[in-house]
Amino acid sequence: MTSKPSKDSALKRRFGPAALITGASDGIGRAFATQLAEHGFDLILVARRGDVLQDMALDLGTRFGADVRVLAMDLSDPSAVPDLLSVTESAPVGLVVAAAGFGSIGPFLDQDMASEINMVDLNCRSVVELSYGFGQRMSASKRGGIVLFSSLVGFNGAPLSATYAATKGFVQSFAEGIAAEMRPHGVSVLSVAPGPVGTGFAARAGMQMGQAATPEMVAHASLGALGRKTTVRPGFLAKFLGWSLAMLPRWGRVRVMGIIMKGMTGKEVTVRK
């Protein structure tokens, strides 16, 4: 049985004792959960697959001595975040990582509208509700951190992933706004904007992604940026494309994004100025 680290890390001293992670059962959220347990955090893990979360709780408890609580819920359900806020009212959560999310790819008019709206509910609405609920608690105690997930595709329109990219653009803009508002209250907000990351995301979205970063690298880079930056672009591709695209006019950025997304599907797209 591995006990907790003998000395709390600086991260735990600043944002602990507990972290709540949504999307914790897989991918980037799972990587955050492991790394935060390694830092000595207790955890509240949120996703739909409660069985997977229970296995994680056992594993992280055994390996790092973390006290892990599991909340199995569908965050796209309008009642989910109010319920989550209610059952965590007395939990000492100093850090929220809102990783739950999914994407889609292909012509907008070919998409299933119910699924696109579900994506907006999960990627946007639940993020606003979580940030509001925990932002209030953290501001009251003058400390805390909120990690949100934008994307390389969140900085302008992306043909063939129009709704998903727009949800990421929403998160990017929202994170920048609340970061400025909450900083004076001792609360750090970070937007994580990676390029492709090798997780279950691609399979669910129907994307073929090359040159993918690892979720572990994304989590590590993000935890290093928390409290220091408002936006972090983990990985070479995210940085390279981010800065090179910034030099183009907006219509040019949209055109390049269309080419990138076409590469992820192989579908043709015509982008006009």
Ligand X SMILES: N[C@@H](C=O)C(=O)O
Chain positions contacting ligand NDP, by CB under 6 A: 22-29, 47-49, 52, 74-76, 99-103, 122, 149, 151, 194, 196-197, 199-201, 204, 209
For ligand NDP, the closer of residues 48 and 143 by Cβ is 48
Q: What angle do CA 178, 229, 238 make, to 5 degrees?
A: 105
**Least distance in Å: CB of 163 to ligand X?**
12
173/150 Cα distance (integer angstroms): 9
Contact between 153 and ligand X by CB under 6 A: the answer reads: yes
Which residue stretch of 81-89, 201-209, 215-223, 247-255 sits at the interface with ligand X (rule: CB under 6 A)?
A: 201-209
Site for ligand X contains 157 (CB under 6 A): no
**What gap in Å lies between CA 97 and CA 22, rounded to an integer?**
6
Q: How far is CA 140 from CA 144, 157, 208, 257, in A?
A: 10, 37, 44, 41
Dihedrals phi, psi of 271, to nearest 5 degrees? -110, 120
Choosing from 151, 188, 222, 231, the residue that interacts with ligand X (CB under 6 A) is: 151
Q: According to the binding rule CB under 6 A, does residue 209 interact with ligand X? A: yes
Least separation in angstroms between residue 169's CB and ligand X is 11
Q: Which residue has tokens 């907008």?
A: 108
Among 94, 196, 234, 258, binds ligand X (CB under 6 A): 196
Smallest Cα–Cα separation from 185: which of 144, 146, 148, 230? 144
Q: By CB under 6 A, is residue 152 in contact with ligand X? A: yes
Q: How far apart are CA 74 and CA 187, in angstroms?
A: 27
Of all helices (H) and strands (E), which one includes residue 18? strand 18-22
What does the binding site for ligand X look like in residue numbers (CB under 6 A)?
Answer: 103, 151-153, 195-196, 201, 207, 209
